[in-house]
Amino acid sequence: MSETITYHVDGDGVATLTIDLKDRPMNVITRQFLEELTNYVNQAVGDPTVKGAIITSGKSSFLAGADLKGVADLFAAKDAAELFAGGMKFVALTRKMETGGKPFVAAMTGTALGGGLEIALACHYRVATDTPGALFGLPEVLVGLFPGGGGTQRLPRLIGARDGLQMMMQGTQLKAQQALEKGIIHKLVPPSELLAEAKRWLLESPDAVQPWDKKDFKIPGGAGQFDRRWVETFMVGSSLMQKETFHNYPAPQAIMSCVYEGLQVPIDAGLRIEQRYFTKLLLDPVAKNMIRTVFVNKGAADKLARRPKGYDKLKVTRLGVLGAGMMGAGLAYVAALAGIEVVLLDRELSFAEKGKAYSENLLASRIKKGRTTEEKAAALLSLIKPTTDYADLAKCELVIEAVFENREIKADVTRKAEAVIAESAIFASNTSTLPISGLAEASVRQPQFIGLHFFSPVDKMPLVEIIRGRQTSDETLAKAMDFVQQIKKTPIVVNDIRGFYTSRFCGAYINEGTTMLLDGVAPALIENAARMAGMPVGPLALLDEVSIDLSYHIREQTKKDLGAAYKPQSGDAVITLFFEKLDRVGRKSGKGMYEYPEGGKKSLWPGLAEHFPAAAEQPSVEEIKKRLLYAQALDAVRCMEENVLTDPADGDVGALLGLGFPPYTGGPLSLIDTVGVKNFVAECDRMAELYGERFTPPKLLVEMAAKGESFYK
């Protein structure tokens, strides 16, 4: 009995292949699915009583693409010939559908993405239901792959090279009406008419042939080296790709090459070209790293794979937020968006109301863009209650303080909140650097005290760093993870230490940038090399964003707390100069490492040249990239060594989602594995001699190199 497809032939000779993978919420392409689909396609084509076949779904979606866990298994293969042969089996399957002499119809019940849409594109006719939320596209580039199941050849032949490239290079997902307008879908019908329409077309089109298999076929929008539109498409496309990726990602390059080469030859040759590039991509570490971190490990975090077992799931109905600044206001918005009542408390009602106004402004923008309605916005806003009265926190299951980074202020609000909340309630601090165990000393219920470190702006940033204090109980950790999942964020769990993981990691990046200034590296070279390495902003720009005064105050608090144990950072002098003498504290003041003219574009402050003269001989871009990325990777290793991180997956997911570490690396620990631990240690030894002891590889890494170990097996 089939586990993936039901095959039925009706009295009119129409075969219906209904995809319905057992124990899966959505249909995905697995090895077993492909084997069964191949068998049934061959059966339909070879049976003289069958006039054609309809491929449809028994679920509310059609086919969501490849099972990426299965794709991840392919990376273990080292034989290019074996990988190429496996890919060509899929090519043979789709070509059998197209050229077997019988019409095939894709009757799509909803979403068709990746390989799911590629199978549909191999059908002669595509009809779909206009299901709300249904999406159609080839988004493989988002996980380091490209449409290697015929997508790079069929989609551009259907809608033109320019439109096809835009969809595939950006991973665009279209709504049903948009897909219809593009010509990807032939017709939209109500769900009740889907199979009837598919059958009608099939019986009326016994001699169906794909456009690209006809002798007079021409690529929509032109093709070939002598077509002006074609040349413009690839000239502009190559320039944009360089601007966006700096050639760090092989998938976009492969898409460009597949379309450019494949559309100048017949479809069968184009499909072989595509498979060669896809095989090469599978042998490249970028796709492997991205799939492991962006899909597999992030997916495990979203499903709370590390949640302590044996505790009832918490559903927060009423949340207390202490402090209505940007962070508290953002917290109130995302919680209300999840249907949670929010008590937004500040020392003055006007401050609390201003915090609520943040949600009003976000919702006004969403209304303007048609993403929500006035009624829904009003309902969301009604969930947020501005107040100054701690008694309003009484029924909150969870309270999060998001007040100023000052231990005394945090202790004060902790005591006031705990005086009124229920004994079972959890108290969380949103601190970004202060040790949770120290803050918990102000609490009378330390087992229920935990850190929930959100990132700004909260409504856009997907990560939450959960910090477990020395006294935090398993139950509190479990319920904190439940809340993070409830508001649709991705949690990582770390143990308590000053700066935790993400703030330390961010600090290592900024420190390396400021140290380079002291070393005489030109500021523009620092910033541009950082972008070329794949970082979203340079370290100097990031310092302005987090604010120089905050960095200064955190450092001074750390000095005060640690006393003689404090170890100065190599870039400390830059922070001191800007705060104490230059009064340039970052973007919020309009002046920092950059100038921020009102209504104009920011630019590096010319005064940097006076205070940090550029050396006569500048380092290479590659050397700067390496310093910036390796400085961060080393800090991730130290966090593993100090048991701040207990799983490399948390380190990689946290770095990508919270700090913008280049996705093509898979994260800092994946980067080390890709370079090779032994090679990485050797490079760090070299840089330690040149730039200082901060590059000295930790003992953990040296031991791993000696044993031939890696972070991932």
Strands 463-468 and 449-454, by their bridges, are antiparallel
Q: Considering the domain delimited by 5-283, tell me its CATH architecture.
A: Alpha-Beta Complex (3.90)
Span of 1-10, 265-274, 349-358, 651-660 with lowest mean pLDDT: 1-10
Give per-residue pLDDT as tens, 290-316. Answer: 999 999 999 999 999 999 999 999 999
Distance, in Å, from the CA atom of 136 to the CA atom of 27, rounded to the nearest integer, reads 14
pLDDT value of residue 77: 66
Q: How confident is the model at residue 28 (pLDDT cuts 50, 70, 90)?
A: very high
Residue 677 has pLDDT above 80, yes or no: yes
Beginning with the edge strand found earlier in the chain, give each strand of the sheet holding 187-189 in spatial order.
Answer: 5-9, 14-19, 52-57, 104-108, 125-129, 187-189
Give per-residue pLDDT as tens, 237-274. Answer: 888 888 888 999 999 999 999 999 999 999 999 999 99
What is the average pLDDT score of the chain?
95
Q: How confident is the model at residue 508 (pLDDT cuts 50, 70, 90)?
A: very high
Residue 579 has pLDDT above 70, yes or no: yes
Give per-residue pLDDT as tens, 270-279. Answer: 999 999 999 9
Residue 213 has pLDDT above 70, yes or no: yes
Residue 447 has pLDDT above 70, yes or no: yes
pLDDT value of residue 73: 72
Which of 149, 152, 159 lies closest to 119 in space, CA to CA?
Answer: 149
Distance, in Å, from the CA atom of 161 to the CA atom of 159, rounded to the nearest integer, reads 7
pLDDT value of residue 674: 97
pLDDT value of residue 1: 64
Give per-residue pLDDT as tens, 334-391. Answer: 999 999 999 999 999 999 999 999 999 999 999 999 999 999 999 999 999 999 999 9
CB neighbours of residue 671 within 10 Å: 24
- Per DSSP, the chain holds a count of helices (H) and strands (E) of 30, 19
Q: CB-based burial of residue 613 (10 Å sphere; 0-12 exposed, 13-18 middle, 19+ buried)?
A: exposed
Residue 713 has pLDDT above 90, yes or no: no
Measured between alpha carbons, how far apart are the two ends of the chain, in Å? 36
pLDDT value of residue 433: 84
Single-letter amino acid code for the residue at 296? V
Q: Taking the CA atoms of 559, 564, 566 and 568 in sequence, report the sign of the dihedral they define.
A: positive
Residues 6 or more apart whose Cβ sits within 8 Å of residue 292: 72, 652, 666, 670, 712
pLDDT value of residue 23: 87
Give per-residue pLDDT as tens, 81-95. Answer: 989 999 999 999 999
- Which residue in the block uniquely carries the two structure tokens 């249904």? 134
Q: CB-based burial of residue 110 (10 Å sphere; 0-12 exposed, 13-18 middle, 19+ buried)?
A: buried
Structure tokens at 159: 């809608």
The domain locations on the chain are: 5-283, 318-497, 503-707
Single-letter amino acid code for the residue at 329? A
Residues 6 or more apart whose Cβ sits within 8 Å of residue 453: 430, 431, 432, 464, 465, 466, 467, 500, 502, 503
Residue 132 has pLDDT above 70, yes or no: yes
pTM of the model: 0.92
Cis peptide before 457 (omega within 30 of 0): yes
Structure tokens at 245: 């990726």
Mean pLDDT of 202-223: 94
Strands 173-175 and 463-468, by their bridges, are unpaired
Residue 230 has pLDDT above 90, yes or no: no
Which of 48, 79, 61, 262 lies closest to 155 in space, CA to CA?
Answer: 262
Give per-residue pLDDT as tens, 378-415. Answer: 999 999 999 999 999 999 999 999 998 888 999 999 99
Residue 613 has pLDDT above 90, yes or no: yes
Q: Topology of 318-497 in CATH?
A: Rossmann fold (3.40.50)
pLDDT value of residue 499: 86
Q: List residues with catalytic annotation.
A: 453
3-state secondary structure 215-247: CCCCCCCCCCCCCHHHHHHHHHHHHHHHHHHCC
pLDDT value of residue 427: 98
Mean pLDDT of 418-424: 96
Residue 539 has pLDDT above 90, yes or no: yes
Whether residue 104 contacts residue 207, with contact meaning beta carbons closer than 8 Å, is answered with no
Distance, in Å, from the CA atom of 591 to the CA atom of 582, rounded to the nearest integer, reads 10
Mean pLDDT of 626-653: 97
- As a CATH number, domain 503-707 is 1.10.1040.50
